[in-house]
Amino acid sequence: MSKPSEKVADEIARLRDQIHYHNHLYHTLDQPELSDAEFDAVFRRLQGLESEHPQFADENSPTRRVGGAPLTAFTQVAHERPMLSLDNAFGAEDMVDFERRIKTRLDSQEPVSFACEPKIDGVAISLLYEGGRLVRAATRGDGATGENITENARTISAVPLNLMGDEYPYRLEVRGEAYMSLSGFAEMNLQAEAEGEKVFANPRNATAGSLRQLDSRLTAKRPLTMFCYSVGVVEGGTLPEEHSAILEALRRWGFRTNPLTEVVVGVDACNDYFARLQEIRPTLDYEIDGCVFKVNNIAQQVTLGFLTRTPRWAIAHKFPAEEGVTRLLDVEFQVGRTGAITPVARLEPIKLAGVTISNATLHNMDEVSRLGLAVGDMVKIQRAGDVIPKIVGVLPELRDTDSREVALPAVCPACGSGIVQPEGEVIARCSSGLSCSAQRKESIRHFASRLALDIEGLGDKLVEQLVDEGLIETTGDLFRLTDEPLVALPRMGRKSVSNLLAAIEDSKQTTLTRFIYALGIAEVGEATARNLAMHFGDLGPLRDASVESLQEVDDVGPIVAEKIASFFGQKNNQIVMDQLIALGVQWEPEIVETVPGPDLTGEKVVLTGTLRTLTRNDAKSQLQTLGAKVSGSVSSKTSFVVAGDAAGSKLTKAQELGVRVLSEQELIDLLEGG
């Protein structure tokens, strides 16, 4: 006869399997077999048994979907395989070029089979399973590093806690898009409004905010779901040889995949799919902003490979932006972290693609002049990529007689210092530097932001308080903060202060990419910061780099190189960096992974003319991966020049200097190990 504890364990296991099964029917297949009351009875029985017998607790029990105790902070997750972004197509011609590049690289004119699916406007996440059990979930982050959101992911009913069947690999990473249905989002906002709580602007923002809740019990209340679209790490098993068959396997193992996914042959069929999806877009209960097309054959995907940040075998075809007409009520001027004075349009509110828009960026005064804009005008508004609102035109025939010209202010709206506009630049700037309170606040906000040092709890309002109270003037002052001055601030109790100081201490362990981005160098975004880190390896060589050597970095041209060199050449910036390092901010030097091919370390290469097989960026990326420095100018120190069709003055100069010249085919042979 079995022991009572064994009977309890057996019943708990049976109930968990039963609930997993019915959750799958309801949330993945939309084919429920139990009524809500019947399901609730089974669920309550399991909750009761787990409460009475805590020795049988299991983190993957379906009862864990209600959320557990709050976390103090998110931990970082390094993706074993990068979560790359996609190149974009904006028309049928871009799609034709996409197919042509694929056929050229495959050296085949056979029709290409594509897997087509809607591009969900949500948040990309990664789910890692070991032995069929969910062990970790993470956000995409910057593609290389994300945040551990396992506790929040467990609350999403469409995320399997245990895989179904027994044919899955032992270690399997599944990637997908978390999102909110439009109906669920509307219902959530109605409830929030009725309870006097904050309402969200759109489903995507609501999804991102829900996934980053430290208290997973709050996430559990949000109507989150997800569609899976690919796999990452696969160990201890094999997958089918076609992308569409992999999606079918994921469905068998319990994942939701988009029912509108199709396999078509040729780019014309892709464009037809795009047109059909655009037509039914208004009827869908979730937001999409385009279609994704992937080469269906996995072996061909491997042959096509990757560029620096994107796969060659996939592309996102974006829908045209939505437009509307409204009135320009005013133009205000904001001060950015680099002192840039940016005009911002204040609009009569208008609803586009489900979002109410009342502000739009105008970038700079050249843009204002180009548009011929006056306050009071009726203007055409567009959501670029269905995300960023901007003014794309004016309706002068509707202009009122009392409209007024938009003029750049003479002094900074934040500190009253003079505004300067260097010759040849379109951006006007405050002349006072970090003594301007707006620049100081913005630089500190940027330094603490998620993609920079990611200091949890250091929000905009707290930064303003710290600067206004004179507790910090530079980013280095953050690491000198102590308990007592912080506790004296409004709404800052001992616990909040303790959490903030712990987060500041944790932020000292960072990466070179994050540190470079956190410095707030003009024109240096997340991608450029990563390129600089990978190219120079550590901060010392970057600080000493000349304008010429900076231009050897991918995506760094002459203007950006000048701005970077100028930043590192300023004594105040050098002092702040030295202080940050002295105060304990540190990172491991970047290590560039080696790839098959010749060692071109130290070789200086120039590309000129039109390359027919390789794109210019493709050739540059491959050469840099092998250690070469790709320059924009020929000198006696150039190792060789690659000359494509219609090569001009650079080829002539190389011949005059006696520099070796390679054809495109010779370059391809070299890259392949010749």
* Residue ranges of the binding site for Zn(2+): 412, 415, 436
Distance CA 71, CA 87 (A): 36
Alpha helices in 363-493 (DSSP H): 365-371, 437-448, 460-468, 483-487
Residue type, 390: K
Smallest CA-to-CA distance from 332 within 438, 248, 240, 206 is with: 438
Q: Give how far Cα 335 sits from Cα of 340, 414, 447, Å.
A: 6, 7, 16
Binding positions:
36-40, 85-86, 117, 140, 177, 294, 318, 412, 415, 436
Measured over the CA atoms of residue 216, residue 220, residue 224 and residue 229, the dihedral's sign is positive
Smallest CA-to-CA distance from 112 within 303, 330, 316 is with: 303
Query: What's the token pair of residue 588?
Result: 């491991």
Smallest CA-to-CA distance from 477 within 509, 511, 454, 443 is with: 443
Distance CA 652, CA 645 (A): 13
Angle at 161 between CA 159 and CA 165, to 5 degrees: 100
DSSP 20-33: HHHHIIIIIS----
The partner residues of 355 in beta bridges, in order of sequence, read 352
- Decide the pairing of beta strands 123-130 and 288-295: unpaired
Smallest CA-to-CA distance from 96 within 310, 242, 269, 261 is with: 269
Query: What's the token pair of residue 404?
Result: 């007024």
The partner residues of 381 in beta bridges, in order of sequence, read 324, 391
Binding positions for NAD(+):
36-40, 85-86, 117, 140, 177, 294, 318
Residue 236 CB burial class (10 angstroms; 0-12, 13-18, ≥19): exposed
The partner residues of 379 in beta bridges, in order of sequence, read 326, 394
- Decide the pairing of beta strands 640-643 and 604-608: parallel
164 touches 22 (CB < 8 A): no
Distance CA 343, CA 370 (A): 14
Residue 615 dihedral angles phi and psi, to the nearest 5°:
-80, 160
Q: Counting every residue, how long is the chain?
A: 674
Q: Is residue 586 helix, strand or coil?
A: strand
Say how far residue 387 (Cα) sits from the centre of its chain. Answer: 13
The partner residues of 328 in beta bridges, in order of sequence, read 347
Distance CA 35, CA 298 (A): 42
Q: Give how far Cα 100 sits from Cα of 108, 565, 575, 608, 616, Å.
A: 10, 40, 52, 22, 16
* E-strand stretches of 87-191: 87-89, 113-120, 123-130, 133-139, 145-147, 171-180
Alpha helices in 305-419 (DSSP H): 365-371
Say how far residue 642 (Cα) sits from the centre of its chain. Answer: 34
Q: Is 563 a catalytic residue?
A: no
503 touches 73 (CB < 8 A): yes
Query: Among residues 3, 119, 495, 604, which one is catalytic?
Result: 119
- Decide the pairing of beta strands 341-352 and 145-147: unpaired
Provide CB contacts within 8 A for 140, sequence distance 6+: 83, 123, 124, 125, 126, 146
Provide CB contacts within 8 A for 257, sequence distance 6+: 227, 228, 229, 247, 250, 251
Q: Which residues are catalytic?
A: 119
